[in-house]
Amino acid sequence: MRRPNPKETGSFHSEFLAEAVRNWLRWQHGTRLTEPRPCPDCGEQHYRKHDFKERIFAILITDDGFEEIIVEYRRFWCKNCEQTVSADLSSLFYDDCLYGKPIVNLCLTLAADNPPTAVENHLQKIGIQVDKDTVARYVREFGDKFAERHGITVAGESLAQNVLAALFDVGTVEELKEEYGEELAEAGIDDVAGCADETYPAKKGAKKDLYEENMERKQEGKNPRPHPEGFTVALGYLPQLDCFASVQCRNTAFASVLANALGMPMEGVAYYVTDDEDCYNDTFPGRVNCLFHRLCARARDDERVEELHKEGRYEELEAYLEAEYETLYEQEVEELKEEYPSFWDEETGEFTGPVTTNAIEGGNWRMKEKLGVPYRRCRSARGRVLLGAVSDSLSVYRNGRPDVSFAQRHGTFCFEKIMADHPPRSPDCVTAPPAPPVSIRAR
């Protein structure tokens, strides 16, 4: 293994946090794993003891350089096939991951909102050594295992990922309402609506390529190409729950079959709100076109809008469009009130269901903000998008104040359910290393 470059924690960090992390990790040093597991070659479990091997649990950054936290594991000889078999390491390590579970989980937690370079920087400040390439590998591994466990497959190909399944252990909104009926009632949620939309984050280097291409097109007298090459990121969202239902991140253009896969986890919602994208036409029953998109389409053909715009009478134009929107909104609410009465609040006299794609438009922006940097490979971008969607769904702070989401309060997500080869059924059965004893000094 290549040795990392020398590092220091620096002076601009919390020494309290860094020392607490170091002490907790040092407590794991010297741990021995001796529990046998079935032989991976023959499946038997008839052994004789062989020896102990060492494995790095974590690497700390100290004033004296790097400090390795080592755990030991027993190896056995299989009496049946005479192969060397290591002890069960699943309590402290994920398969194919270099460091211990707490380090991997911390990397993934930080990667939900930061690119790998920033994650490495954050870890360095609290005295943990993990390089950016290792973080990127963990992100790709998370995306791959998420798609393997919760992929939505059509004709043998995984087209989308079911976030609901990771959050609640259910396949659809219909199952969610059956399994969590009491919890939904306690939260004052009578019914659930869905939103779907797509966004196109640019690939790494695509904006530069677009600029150079458009310079050439300008010289040739051709119209410029409007958008850089990007990934198709499509998202399904449940506004009443403040959580994502499904995610897609692909190199291909959006199409009806992709829209169908995206909508599968949202089966059971009262209705869907989407933009005027044709791909949704035959996919979502009970589909409602976004009111804002309808107003935009209507304004494009409105002679009054064109007249006010040409004459520069922008205040009048704004007032005119606001009046048009209010008219459309009142008409839409009257129709939806009759068709979906569970979203009508008698006390306030308001329709509580979505009539625009604003909720998912906000989700699009949050996903792009979480990505932060462009990616060249779809696999890397997919891992970051999935981490961002799960992190956003498990929020405890929203709109400038503490606000625990439904998924955080009632969901079952934990990293072990994605990363472990034999994931637990609930977070309660996750094995964590014991915490060090705390000594309290009397004053």
Whether residue 227 sits in one domain with residue 161:
yes
* Residue-level pLDDT at 315: 93
Whether residue 410 sits in one domain with residue 367:
yes
Mean pLDDT of 197-220: 94
User: Is the pLDDT confidence value at 440 over 50?
Assistant: no
Kindly report, residue by residue over 16-27, the tens digit of the pLDDT: 888 899 999 999
Whether residue 385 sits in one domain with residue 259:
yes
Last residue of a domain, one of 95, 113, 130: 130
User: Is the pLDDT confidence value at 39 over 60?
Assistant: yes
Mean pLDDT of 296-308: 89
Whether residue 175 sits in one domain with residue 283:
yes
Q: Report percent pLDDT > 70 for the chain.
A: 94
Mean pLDDT of 43-54: 87
Does the residue 439 lie in any domain?
A: no
* Number of DSSP helices (H) and strands (E) in the chain, helices first: 16, 15
Distance, CA of 354 to CA of 236 (rounded, Å):
14
Lowest mean pLDDT among 117-121, 232-236, 283-287, 438-442: 438-442
Does the residue 106 lie in any domain?
A: yes
Whether residue 169 sits in one domain with residue 124:
no
Contact criterion met (CB below 8 Å) for 210 and 237: no
Does the residue 110 lie in any domain?
A: yes
Does the residue 5 lie in any domain?
A: no
Mean pLDDT of 224-241: 94
Whether residue 174 sits in one domain with residue 260:
yes
Whether residue 216 sits in one domain with residue 182:
yes
Q: Where are the alpha helices (DSSP H) in 273-377?
A: 291-300, 303-310, 314-339, 358-371
* Residue-level pLDDT at 209: 95
Kindly report, residue by residue over 147-169, the tens digit of the pLDDT: 999 999 888 888 999 999 999 99
Whether residue 218 sits in one domain with residue 90:
no
* Residue-level pLDDT at 429: 40
Which structural domain range is residue 98 located in?
15-130
Mean pLDDT of 34-54: 88
Last residue of a domain, one of 72, 96, 130: 130
Burial of residue 412 (number of CB atoms within 10 Å: 0-12, 13-18, 19+):
middle
Whether residue 213 sits in one domain with residue 75:
no
User: Is the pLDDT confidence value at 332 over 80?
Assistant: yes
The neighbouring-strand residues paired with 59 are 68
Distance, CA of 33 to CA of 196 (rounded, Å):
47
Burial of residue 245 (number of CB atoms within 10 Å: 0-12, 13-18, 19+):
buried
Does the residue 174 lie in any domain?
A: yes
User: Is the pLDDT confidence value at 13 over 50?
Assistant: yes
The amino acid at residue 287 is: R
Nearest to 351 by CA among 178, 191, 185: 191
* Residue-level pLDDT at 2: 66
- What confidence tier does 14 reach under pLDDT thresholds 50, 70, 90? confident
> What average pLDDT does the structure give for the chain?
90
User: Is the pLDDT confidence value at 228 over 90?
Assistant: yes
Helices 291-300 + 314-339 axis angle, to 10 = 140
Whether residue 165 sits in one domain with residue 21:
no
Q: What is the pTM of this model?
A: 0.90
Mean pLDDT of 347-356: 90
Whether residue 406 sits in one domain with residue 268:
yes
Whether residue 264 sits in one domain with residue 398:
yes
* Residue-level pLDDT at 427: 43
Nearest to 282 by CA among 256, 248, 252: 256
* Residue-level pLDDT at 426: 46
Does the residue 118 lie in any domain?
A: yes
> DSSP label at 203?
B
Domains of the chain: total: 2
Residue 158 has, within 13 A of its CA and on its CB side, a CA count of 17
Mean pLDDT of 334-352: 91
Does the residue 61 lie in any domain?
A: yes
* Residue-level pLDDT at 434: 52
Does the residue 434 lie in any domain?
A: no
